Every structure is written in C-alpha cells, then in structure tokens.
Amino acid sequence: MGKTLRELKEIPITRLTGVTPRLEERLGMLGIKNVLDLIEHYPRRYLDRTKKSDIADLRVGEEATVYAEVRKMTSRRTRQGRALVETIVYDGTSYLYVTFFNQPWRAQQLTTGTEAAFFGKLEHYRGKHQMTNPAVDVLGRIGEKTGVIVPIYPQSGKADVSTWQLQKFVAEALRRARDFDDPVPAEVRARLGLADRTRAYNGIHEPEVEADHFRAAHRLKFDEFLRMQLGLVARKRAFEERRVGLAHRLDGPLVPAFHARLPFALTGDQQQAIAEIGADLAAPRPMHRLLQGDVGSGKTVVALTALLTGVQGGYQGALMAPTEVLAEQHHLSISGFLDGLTVSSEATLMGERPVRVELLTNRTGAAGRRKLSAALAAGEVDIVVGTHALIYDSVAFPALGVAVIDEQHRFGVEQRALLRAKGPGGAGGGDGSAGPEPDVLVMTATPIPRTAAMLIYGDLDKSELREMPPGRTPITTEVIPPSPLERAGAYRRLREQVAAGRQAYVVCPLVEGSEKVEAKAATEEAERLEAEELTGLKVGLLHGQMAPADKEATMARFREGLIDVLVATTVIEVGVDVPNATVMVVEDADRFGLSQLHQLRGRVGRGGGESWCFLFADPQTPEAEARLQAMADSTDGFLLAERDLEIRGAGEVFGERQAGFTDLKLGRIPRDEPVVIEARRVAEEILDADPGLAAHRQLADEVEDLLGDDVEFLFKS
C-alpha cells in the first residue's frame, strides 16, 4: 500500500533532514506545517534551462533570462542614501554586472557562489554591460540542482525560505514517500486519461519534460474538484433522504390574490422560479434552493410568493437579511406589497384580518420583543423580517413554515441550521433526525458564474432570474478619468437631474483600515461636496458607523425626497430601493470589485427613467482597467460575474464564503470548468454505487479533511 494524504498530514515537517526549529517557524509562515502541506506547496512556474541566453550573445536593449553564478557582491549606500547592491555574475561565456537599487536584502540573497536566473533588459553603462533591478530566481549553489526544468516555488520575503531549500525538502519528501495510494478507481483514471497520483506528485515537482507538469497539474486539479463535489453531492442527497419537511398547500387563495394585485405582469423567469419553488414546497422534504437574480430582476416578489404559500396554509414566514438597512428596506417593500391583503381569522368579527408583517433587528427594544413574541405565539404575526436577531433572539416561532435568507453568502452553514431549528421540528441533531423542518429559500443579488455555483452552492437546487421586468431601462455607464473638466461634466448632469426633480448618490471610496476611517472619509467628502460641486443642493450622509436610528431617518428622508444627493459608503450596496434616483457617482471606482460596482450601479434606474452611472477612476493596473471597461460595456450581471472571475480569480471573488473553496491550490475557475464538470459526473457515479463511500474510505477521509465536521456524518458507516 502506498501513502495516503491523511498519513502525510500526520508527519510533521521536522521529520525532514535539516528542518531546524527556526526553519520550522519560517516554513509555518508559508502555511507548511506537515509533509502534505509541503508537497501541496506547488511551483508557481518553471524555468527551462534549455531556453536560456548566453551572456556573450546578448545585445543592448534585449530582454532575456540568463543562468549565472554570483562571483562578487558589494553593498553600499549612495550619496542620496539609497541602498545599492552590485554583483558580478558569470555563466561560462561572459561576465555581467547586475545592479539593484533600494533592495538591500539582495546582499543576503546573492552571496558568492549562488546560482540564479536573472531576467531583465541588457544596458550599456560606463563601458560595461549590466542589468538593473532584474527579476531574480535563486536556484541554489552550483552543483546542488541538476535537471533541465527547475521548479520555482511561491515564496515570502518575511518567511525567508528560498526556492532551492523548498526543492531540497520536496525531493526528500517524495523520495521517502515513494508511492502514493490512489483513491480514484483505475477505470475512471483510464477513461479520463488521468495520471496516477504517484506520477502526478512527482511530475508537478520534478518534471523531466514540459508535458510532465501539465499532465500532473491536470490530475491534481481533478482531485481538488472531486473532493469538493463528493462533499456537496453527498450533503445534497443526505439532506433529501434524511430530513422531514412540510408539505404545503398550493391551492390557497392568498398567492393568487397577491399576484392579481401586482401592478405589473410577472416575467417568464419569475413564473418559472415560482413553479420550481412551488414544487419544492408541496413535497414532503424540506426545500433547499438558491434563487439568484441580477439587480432589479424581481427576487422579492418570488420570495414573497414562497412566504405567502406558507402563510395561506397556516404557517409563519421569516426573511433574514445581513444588515439593518437591508432588513428595513425589505420590511418597507413587503408591507407595501401586502397592503390590503387578508387572511382568515376566527378572532375577528368579519372572520378575517390583514396579513401582518413585523420587523426584528438589534434596534428592537425588550418591550418590542416581548410584544412580538406574544403576537407570534398567538398566531397573529404572519411574516417577520429581520437580521441575525431572528436566529439568536429568544423570539420563538410556533409555526415557522418558510424561511428566506437574503444575500446568502453573508451567512454561514451554522446560521442556516439555527434558522431551520426555529421550525416546528425544533432543534435536531446534525443528521436531521428531528421533526419537520421549515422550507428554506436562499437568495442572492450577486449573479454567480455557473462553475462557481457548482462549487459554492453544489448542494442546492437553483433557480435563476435573468429576465428584467418591463420598465427597467439600461443605465448609461461612463468611466471618468481624473480630468477636472470631465468630472465637472458628470456633476453638471447630476445637477440637471436634481433640477428635474430626480435624486442621486455619491459613493465614497473604500478606505484601507476600519469602518471608522471610512466613515470619517465619507463625512469629509460630504462636507467638501456641499461646499463645492453640490453647493445649494440638499446633501445627506449615510455610513456604517451611524446609529441605526440615524441611518433609518436618513434613508426615510431620502425616500421622501427631502435629500437631493445621498453621500454614502458601500452600506447602500444591496437592497436600497429609491425609484426616483437616476444618477450615481462612484469615487475611486478602480478600488472596487466588479460585482460590487454592479451592485452599486443597481441602486439607480429603478424607476423607469433614463439613468447614469459615472465611475471616477485612475486605474493603475491592467486588472483595474479591465474591470472598468467591463462595467462600461455591459449591464448584464451574469456576464460581468464571469468576467470578474477571469480578471480576479475565484479566491479573490468569493473570499471565505464557503469552506474548502479557497483551499483550491491549482484549480482555477472559470478556466477549469471542464474539469469541474467531469469531477461532478465522477462524484455522482461513485456515490450512486457507494452512497456512504464504504468502499472508498480514503476518498471519504479526504473529503472530511477538506470540509471538516460539516460533512463528517455523511460517511459514517
């Protein structure tokens, strides 16, 4: 039997030759604490020694890579006090002067006898050939590294571990591990043309030819995606099989009455989503569905339909939002939608009463909570809208039938479970052994690319709203460079719109540091604008550090038209709905992510009139330029989400929203979408034949090690 990944994880890095306590600490800074961490610290690129240039053949102005030995090194300060490190290197054909300004640490890195690859442009200076501040990859000492293709590892200046040290430790680890036990069935490997695990780990670290590391990377990516898909598919199936739900009535009068009162026709996508959710609600197992839709696509109407399906059957509904501003916005819009709708009630003379919606946030006082608890217990409250207070509060739902979680990525699995436990089945064990659970619909206004959704929400059924309701006009988006003339033009458009009775937003830039720093910046910007570009207009201010009552008062004044321009931080990013707002200015737009800019832009254009979004920006990187160009080119959130993934990569886009997702070391989406799809197919095949992975214990171990206790119960025999 070969080594398993779990066995390698249990071997401390100190078992390798030459790992002193000091070096153990420095490797720890790179996230390397055991042998598995080490062999999964993959090379970031490779140097092919056959593709090098000889120093003697270089021409002035030419960019090239040379492999050379440091023959002499000096370090000093210039008259201006700048650090200057000068080296002379030799590659067997000629000498080259290599000079570094303001990089004093090069003196420790490039000691005499060190071999390195230098990439830069050849210059002629004072009669000699030199490179200034070239890129450097230290390969070790002469004679220490053989082989044509040299792996270069991710490093950290703070950790002070060189690539040649990592090469040495990895080589020893692979030599001592010898063979790896392969948990992927041989039949699957043969069908998909996958290298076995032993060849993969050796090929990624010590490729003999270029094709080796490509083939190795493909196999190791497949393993990463397969582990995630096994966990997600198993969780979805276990959820469907083991949990008891509520079979809701779909023939009640409340939902048709609600739809009949809407001042617009439902879009095809809304009708499709409502049908899918209805089928889930009628089934005897709990709903576990994601509703994703672009800004303004009408998710609230779909979610409210689900809540009212529960209410018409005698159950209660809950809608949980991540912020007080968003919870208050939902409470306001839902109350407006339901105004005039009634449910039957034996407690009234007429036999009916209005549908009752209440709000529960951290602002709700003790007396208000007691009153709400009593009304819920008496069955007088139909829907409660709130923040985290819904799950952590002592308020009890005697008959919670449907729960909606908005902006799902802001809540963890634990919070979702706590909301489920508020249902009639009560708190149960992690295996879902309690009584019936409420149906849960999670929704997000952040469109998620298909591949990412397979990874992050692979355990949920999905409904999408891509179609926009009638009356939503495309928003004209312009990127405004740091030119006083062009910025003045944008503010002129804003003033014209205010003069025509419309309103506007100015979003302040993200500030590194705390919310307090951001709040201070927003306050100063509001004061500056009031004195300069927005003089004579009624300017309001909204930021995260304001007291909840002040936030709501400001939003109420803005909604009522008592504020012309709202200067705000990203607290307005999601959910704020003021149809009269037609202009948005985003300061330092190049510092925002693409999906965040799209969310901000979605605050305007909600009232049917022509709208504008001006992105003030001075992008300093190609990525920032690409983001802004994408914003100017498209208002399609799904298309922009795909573009955002291409530009920034998955880890950046989704952060730590899902356990295991940021553990991808080689896999990248959307680039590796075919591998994700293949891994999903294989995961389903394996679980079809072996639902508890009893015959695939190593795979079960790897899934548990990746996703933790959250899936552990799935594979217990």
Record the tokens describing residue 447, joined without a space: 């469109």
Across 154-163, 370-379, 532-541, 699-708, least confident range: 154-163
What number is the average pLDDT over the span 445-472? 77
Per DSSP bridges, beta strands 63-77 and 83-90 are: antiparallel
Q: Name the residue among 714, 698, 655 with its Cα closest to residue 226.
A: 698
For residues 335 and 119, the model is more confident at 335
If 0-12 CB within 10 Å is exposed, 13-18 middle and 19+ buried, where does residue 351 land? Answer: exposed
Task: Kindly report, residue by residue over 296-306, the tens digit of the pLDDT.
Answer: 788 999 999 99
C-alpha 518: how far from its chain's center? 22
Q: What is the full DSSP assignment across 60-105?
A: TT-EEEEEEEEEEEEEEE-TTS-EEEEEEEE-SS-EEEEEEES-TT
Q: What digits encode the pLDDT tens for the residues 463-492?
A: 999 887 776 777 999 999 988 999 999 999
pLDDT at 297: 84
Q: How far apart are CA 22 and CA 156, in angstroms?
A: 15
CA–CA dist 671, 673 (Å, integer): 6
The pLDDT of residue 710 is 59
d(CA 334, CA 384): 10
pLDDT at 427: 44
pLDDT digits (tens, 9 = 90+) for 253-265: 999 999 999 988 9
pLDDT at 2 (0 to 100): 87
Lowest average pLDDT, out of 155-169, 184-198, 537-551, goes to 155-169
CA angle 388, 393, 394 (to 5 degrees): 160
* Predicted pLDDT of residue 665: 86
Predicted confidence (pLDDT) at residue 640 exceeds the cutoff of 70: yes
Collect contacts of 83-87 with beta carbons under 8 A, ≥24 apart: 85/110
pLDDT at 697 over 50: yes
Of 493, 480, 472, 494, whose CA–CA distance to 636 is shortest? 472
Q: How far apart are CA 457 and CA 451, in angstroms?
A: 10
Q: pLDDT value at position 81? A: 84
pLDDT tens digits along 657-666: 444 455 678 8
* pLDDT over 50 (residue 71): yes
What is the residue-averaged pLDDT of the chain?
86
pLDDT tier for residue 143 given thresholds of 50, 70 and 90: very low
Q: Using a CB cutoff of 8 Å and minimum separation of 24, what contacts does 692-698 make? A: 692/716, 692/717, 693/230, 693/234, 696/183, 698/4, 698/5, 698/6, 698/181, 698/183
pLDDT, residue 147, reads: 55
Which residues does residue 352 pair with via DSSP β-bridges, in sequence order? Answer: 344
pLDDT for 232 equals 85
Measured CA to CA, the distance from residue 233 to residue 222 in angstroms comes to 16
pLDDT reported for residue 709: 59
pLDDT band at 117 (very low <50, low <70, confident <90, very high): confident
Name which residue leads in pLDDT, 635 or 33. 33
Percent of the chain residues past pLDDT 90, beyond the cut: 47
- How far, in Å, CA of 197 to CA of 222, rounded? 11
pLDDT at 140: 62
Give the count of alpha carbons within 13 A of 130, CB side only.
15
pLDDT attached to residue 490: 96
pLDDT tier, 434 (very low <50, low <70, confident <90, very high otherwise): low
Q: What's the pLDDT at 435?
A: 67
pLDDT at position 712 over 90: no
pLDDT at 662: 54
- Computed from CA positions of residues 52, 58, 60, 62, in that sequence, does the dihedral angle turn out positive or negative? negative
Domains of the chain and CATH, by start: 45-152 (2.40.50.140), 254-465 (3.40.50.300), 475-634 (3.40.50.300)
Asked whether residue 652 carries a pLDDT value surpassing 60, the answer given is no
pLDDT band with cut points at 50, 70 and 90 for residue 157: low
Token pair in block for residue 313 = 């059957």
Q: Which distant-in-sequence residues (6+ apart) come within 8 Å of 244 by Cβ?
A: 284, 285, 286, 425, 432, 435, 436, 437
Burial class (CB in 10 A: 0-12, 13-18, 19+), 265: exposed
Which letter does DSSP use for residue 125 in this model?
E
**523 exposure class (CB count in 10 Å sphere: 0-12, 13-18, 19+):** middle
Q: Given this model, what pLDDT does residue 645 score? A: 73
Q: When comparing pLDDT for 368 and 712, which is higher? A: 368
Predicted local confidence at residue 512, as pLDDT: 60
Q: Is the peptide bond before 670 cis (omega within 30 degrees of 0)?
A: yes
pLDDT classification of 53: cutoffs 50, 70, 90: confident
Segment among 345-359, 452-466, 491-505, 675-689 with least mean pLDDT: 452-466
pLDDT at position 195: 96
Q: What count of other Cβ atoms lies within 10 Å of the Cβ of residue 441?
A: 28
CA distance linking residue 63 with residue 57, whole number of Å: 12
> How much is the pLDDT for 87?
96
Q: How confident is the model at residue 160, as a pLDDT?
A: 78
Residue 392 near residue 369 (C-beta atoms within 8 A): no
The three-state secondary structure class of 439 is strand
Please provide the size of the chain in residues.
717
Q: At what angle do helices 268-282 and 299-312 cross, to 10 degrees?
A: 30
- Please count the other Cβ atoms lying within 10 Å of the Cβ belonging to residue 716: 10
Maximal CA-CA distance, the chain = 104
- pLDDT for the residue numbered 649: 59
Question: Lowest mean pLDDT: which of 111-115, 160-164, 334-338?
Answer: 160-164
Residue 612's DSSP bridge partners are 476, 583
Nearest-angstrom CA–CA distance, 613 and 597: 10
